[in-house]
Structure 1
Amino acid sequence: MHVALDMMVDILKAAAESSRLRILALLSRGDLTVSDLTEILGQSQPRVSRHLKLLLEAGLIGRYQEGSWAFFRLSDADSARDFVLRLVSGIRDADPQVERDLERLAAVKRRRQERATAYFRENAASWDQIRSLHVPDRAVEAALLKLVGKRPFQSMLDLGTGTGRVLEIFAPLYRRGVGIDLSREMLAVARANLDKAGIANVQVRQGDIFSPPVERDAFDLVTMHQVLHYLDDPARAIGEAARLLRPSGRLVIVDFAPHKLEFLREEHAHQRLGFSDRQIGDWFAEAGLDLEEVQDFEPRGGGEERLTVKLWLGRDRRLLIADPASDAQQAAMRQFGETA
């Protein structure tokens, strides 16, 4: 972190207390509420809230509202987040206090998983009916991974994250992932799934796709997986997603080709019955994106009662201008690694 001396002293003071350091270690493993932290730390809510206030003021953590719940997370700022992760990496998991914290954290995550399982069980029939109409999800996921490639990147945003599956499959590639969904029930499912997969460099938040609670010009990859057909204004959603991309960032959309299955509108709240390449291409162009690739996934068996899945990749037209100082710094680090 490149900050003034006095500010660094304040940051270190905020972190240099056992309870606050425990909080940072817990938040490095995922987002938690005040109630979660109160249960894990075995402290009163006013005391935990005081610790959180000091960490917020120091810029080490962030806060977001989800209905009546307030969640806390590590800071979105890369420098502050990296600072905290380096700090807590020096704490031994075998420390008795940390060991107890992790056991209680595991109990909190188990309850999340139980709630998610119950929600899935109640809604499984509806989802299975739609899945039976198109190509298996695994085929689309494999295509997504191949399309995006193996090169790591800084940040990813999944709009309408649902179960968090897209965040999960790309987790090895990004340093920071964010998922947005309007449904608190689906966010609970996503948190449980990401916890189960052991993914800590990601957070999910409640928010509207048309005004997502994230910074603009901040993401290398934005995804919208089976989301557009639920929206009354897909063009606006694409325009908003494009504003969140960094220069040369990519927007990937997965949805259906045009179809005539009216029951999806009547029984499953689909606003649009699929999209053509021309529609998506025009909306991309209006948003300042170039349509780079289109892929089709025909349903097995074919027929009018089946859905073709489409994948569209758009790229921000602005050029990414490298920082010469950053390039020199990275080259020096590589050289140091080679000679060490």
Structure 2
Amino acid sequence: MTATLDDLVDTLKAAAETSRLRILALLSRGDLTVSDLTEILNQSQPRVSRHLKLLLDAGLIGRYQEGSWAYFRIADDDTARDFVHGIVGRLNAGDPQIERDLERLAAVKHRRQARAAEYFSDNAASWDEIRSLHASDRAVEAALLKLVGKRPFQSMLDLGTGTGRLLEIFAPLYRRGVGIDMSREMLAVARANLDKAGVGNAQVRQGDIYAPPVERDSFDLVTIHQVLHYLDDPALAVREAARLLRPGGRLIVVDFAPHALEFLRDEHAHIRLGVSDKQIADWFSEAGLDLEESQEFEPRGGSEARLTVKLWLGRDRRRLIAEPTRAGERETA
């Protein structure tokens, strides 16, 4: 994409200032609050806010609300992201000011990870109890990676992202990843995990799975992993997810097959005791998706009293105009 002369000059002016370049360099490594940036830049809150407003007005960064906190990120627009990463990529990481900024950024991320570890510790027993009832996470993740394939794609959305694990394992494939979750505590865990894994091309935001705060027709891959059994209207969640897909995009749902473990409803807030193949097929069809594949993962030990994990892949029925492939090049998607 191109810009008019005046627009490009305005964009260059917005970025052409030391503090604002430092902000862009920091946000290229993850989402941050005004408080985070104030601490890292060692500047007053009004001054930092002024710089952020200029970058926002220029369309180089975005802002989203999470409870009482406002987070800032590099803009979702591909042109803006290319512009920012092009500039930031030319900065000398050995510059004394950049080095100090990155040291302070590391301290901010370390505190996030400490808070996440505390939350994990407080809830580990509950999660371990459920995890022991079904196939290993590693087996399911391996199947997901095989199903999606090795061909890079533009964008991924993980609805109900939880710990951010799917964003982490698919990070080498997508250019831009977004995770949505209602829980601020889980978002803190996801940010800490992504920071620890060195994933810089993904961000997480607070939002409702029934009305995700992202643009429609924007994602090549949408995932809903172990979320539907918590919802009172999973069909609506599937329809909303389908609306976010680009033509030909894929939706992957992972959840439990129907079961009779009532304690999960009583003690772990599960609304539905699993999801059947027919339900998924109906929901996909209503949402304009073709059900292309399903897989089943038996529980550990094969006990009937445990949980079977199911994986379903749906594809948007709209077709993209295929670009001609180079001689000898094979489609891998």
Question: 1:79 & 1:7 partners in 2: Cα distance?
Answer: 13
Match of 1:32 in 2: 32
Equivalent-residue separation in structure 1 for 2:308 and 2:89 (angstroms):
46
Task: Assess if the C-alpha contact under 8 Å between 2:177 and 2:202 holds in 1.
Answer: yes
Asked if structure 1 preserves the Cα contact closer than 8 Å seen for 2:136 and 2:300, the reply is no
Amino acid in structure 2 at the alignment position of 1:25: A
Instruction: Give the aligned residue type for 2:261.
Output: L
- CA offsets 1:59-115 (integer angstroms, 9 cap, x no match): 000000000000000000011101100111000110000000000000000000000
Deviation at 1:320, TM superposition (A): 1.0
Query: What amino acid sits opposite 1:163 in the alignment?
Result: T
Secondary structure of 1:29 counterpart? coil
Match of 1:19 in 2: 19
Which residue identity is paired with 1:10? D
List per-residue Cα deviations over 1:252-276 (Å, max 9, x = no partner): 0000000000000000000000111
CA distance in 2, matches of 1:321, 1:100: 48
1:199 alignment counterpart: 199
Shift of 1:2: 1.0
Aligned 1:106-185 pairs, distance under 5 A: 106-185=106-185
| Structure-2 residue corresponding to 1:44 | 44
What amino acid does structure 2 have at the position aligned with 1:119?
Y
Aligned to 2:255: 255
In 1: Cα distance, 2:201 partner to 2:286 partner: 33
Find the counterpart in structure 2 of residue 63 from structure 1. Answer: 63
C-alpha RMSD over aligned residues:
1.2
Structure 2 partner of 1:305: 305
Length, aligned pairs only: 327
The letter of the residue matching 1:77 is D
The SS at the match of 1:208 is coil
Aligned match of 1:83: 83
Give the AA of the match of 2:170.
F
CA separation in 2, counterparts of 1:98 and 1:180?
31
Counterpart AA for 2:92: R
Provide Cα deviations, 1:233-259, integer angstroms capped at 9, x if missing partner.
000000000000000000000000000
What is the DSSP-based 3-state SS (H/G/I as helix, E as strand, rest coil) of the residue aligned with 2:143? helix
Provide structure 1 residue ranges, at least 5 long, that are not aligned to the other structure: 332-340
Cα distance in 2 for partners of 1:148, 1:304 equals 30
Residue 254 of structure 1 aligns with an amino acid whose one-letter code is V
1:102-154 CA-to-partner distances (Å, cap 9, x unmatched) read: 00000000000000000000000000000000010000000000000000000
2:267 matched to which residue of 1?
267
Code of the residue aligned with 2:153 in structure 1: it is F
Q: In the alignment, what sits opposite 1:337?
A: none
Q: Quick check: 228-237 or 303-312, which moved more? A: 303-312
Structure-2 separation of matches of 1:65 and 1:259: 38
Distance in 2 between residues matched to 1:205 and 1:300, nearest whole Å:
34
Q: 1:279 offset after TM fit, Å?
A: 0.7
Q: With the length of structure 1 as denominator, give the TM-score of the two structures.
A: 0.95
Q: Identify the residue that residue 95 of structure 2 maps to in structure 1.
A: 95
Runs of 4+, deviation exceeding 4 Å: none
User: Matched residues in 1 for 2:42 and 2:303: separation?
Assistant: 59
In 2, distance between residues paired with 1:261 and 1:64? Answer: 39
SS in 1 for 2:47: helix
Letter in 1 for 2:140: V
Letter in 2 for 1:232: D
**Letter paired with 1:269:** A
Equivalent residue, structure 2, for 1:6: 6
1:57 partner letter: D
Hey, what's the Cα distance between the residues in 2 that align with 1:261 and 1:320?
43
Residues in 1 aligned to 2:300 and 2:99: alpha-carbon distance in whole angstroms: 50
Correspondence for 2:187? 187
One-letter amino acid of the counterpart of residue 166, structure 2: V
Ranges in structure 2 where 5+ consecutive residues have no aligned partner: 327-333
| 1: CA distance, partners of 2:118 / 2:320 | 45
Deviation at 1:303, TM superposition (A): 2.2
Q: Distance in 2 between matches of 1:275 and 1:98?
A: 50
CA distance in 2, matches of 1:152, 1:302: 36
In the aligned structure 1, how far is the partner of 2:47 from the partner of 2:234?
Answer: 45
Aligned residue for 2:331? none
